[in-house]
């Protein structure tokens, strides 16, 4: 019987256990896929956004050629679901259950990845004291604001009322509806970082784990939009993995996954290349430690 043969694989790996001679039961391994367990949520995200597009990669490359996608449409993730002409977010919007799985999975992943503890914002604390009428910190694409709050927790003298949380309109609406008191003083601004940066001349623009979602062509445009909004003394801080060559296993797997979105993990040379094309220059790199050794903060100013 088909059911017996499928369950046999799960029994042999210890995912399920045999009860009697013809029944199966859950084990701790299988229970992670129940009731929103964080590890199970991440595995499901890997299936949705990794394994499903991977299966279609031969057909994708046959149609578009063996080259990196450069646009938000016609990428493996949307091609695999029969809507190559749409963006990834448009495909997500077509399937509310898929959208919720994606958002939960990303929330778990981002929650496990440190936002603070890599870069020293001490200089920004002092600069904020010297210039009391200027926006201090803009978290571009900051989601629910956990990175902004983590950085403020490490540097509590940064003025929350001069910090800005920016994201897509639906994300900002969700933050405002949640009413988190820790974000009450933070300015919340809707934006599209592909077309405009509404907050001009801030001391720091902070972009965390957003740019690896996009191709070099799109990233150069995003960076150019930010550069145009920056003052002469503004800093752009990009928190992303910096890929080594040869890459470490985790970074290589992540890079392969990001290809399905049309994105990529970048070496330092690649970062310098896209920054230069956007009118920016790299002035320093702060690296994480331990399991986050490749996670870095890339410090940039206007060229």
Indicate the helix (H) or strand (E) that contains 171. helix 169-178
Q: Max Cα separation, the chain?
A: 76
User: What are 281's strand-pairing partners?
Assistant: 301
β strands within the chain, DSSP E: 16-19, 23-26, 137-140, 163-167, 187-190, 204-208, 235-241, 280-287, 295-302
> Can you list the pairs that 172-178 forms with residues at least 24 positions away whose Cβ atoms lie under 8 Å?
174/144, 175/144, 175/145, 178/144
Q: Radius of gyration over alpha carbons of the chain, in Å?
A: 22
Structure tokens at 90: 């448009």
185 to 93, 158, 162, 181, 235: CA distances (angstroms): 31, 12, 8, 8, 23
Query: CA-based angle 54:57:60, to the nearest 5?
Result: 145
Q: Report yes or no: 145 and 138 within 8 Å, Cβ to Cβ.
A: no
142 to 106, 171, 232: CA distances (angstroms): 13, 9, 24
Alpha-carbon distance 114 to 288, whole Å? 9
Among candidate residues 56, 146, 152, 212, the one labeled active-site is: 212
Least Cα distance to 194 among 48, 73, 300, 93 occurs for 73
Active site residue 212: yes
Active centre residues (catalytic): 212
């Amino acid at each position: 019987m088909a059911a017996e043969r499928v369950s046999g694989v799960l029994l042999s790996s210890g995912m399920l256990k045999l009860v009697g001679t013809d029944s199966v039961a859950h084990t701790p391994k299988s229970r992670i896929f129940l009731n929103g367990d964080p590890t199970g949520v991440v595995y499901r995200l890997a299936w949705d956004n990794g394994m499903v597009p991977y299966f279609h990669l031969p057909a994708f490359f046959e149609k578009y050629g063996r080259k990196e996608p450069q646009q938000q449409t016609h990428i493996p993730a949307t091609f695999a679901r029969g809507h190559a002409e749409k963006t990834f977010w448009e495909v997500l919007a077509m399937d509310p259950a898929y959208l919720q799985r994606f958002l939960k999975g990303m929330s778990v992943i981002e929650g496990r990845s440190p936002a603070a503890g890599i870069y020293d914002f001490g200089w920004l604390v002092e600069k904020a004291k010297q210039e009391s009428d200027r926006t201090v910190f803009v978290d571009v694409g900051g989601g629910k604001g956990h990175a902004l709050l983590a950085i403020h927790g490490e540097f509590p003298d940064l003025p929350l009322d001069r910090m800005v949380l920016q994201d897509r309109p639906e994300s900002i609406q969700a933050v405002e509806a949640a009413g988190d008191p820790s974000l009450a003083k933070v300015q919340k601004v809707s934006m599209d970082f592909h077309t405009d940066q509404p907050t001009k001349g801030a001391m720091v623009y902070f972009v965390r784990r957003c740019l690896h979602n996009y191709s070099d062509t799109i990233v150069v445009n995003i960076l150019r939009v930010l550069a145009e909004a920056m003052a002469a003394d503004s800093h752009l801080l990009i928190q992303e993995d910096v890929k080594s060559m040869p890459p470490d296993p985790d970074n290589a797997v992540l890079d392969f996954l990001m290809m399905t979105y049309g994105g990529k993990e970048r070496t330092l040379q690649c970062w310098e290349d896209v920054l230069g094309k956007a009118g920016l220059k790299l002035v320093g790199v702060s690296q994480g430690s331990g399991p986050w050794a490749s996670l870095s903060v890339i410090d940039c100013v206007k060229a």
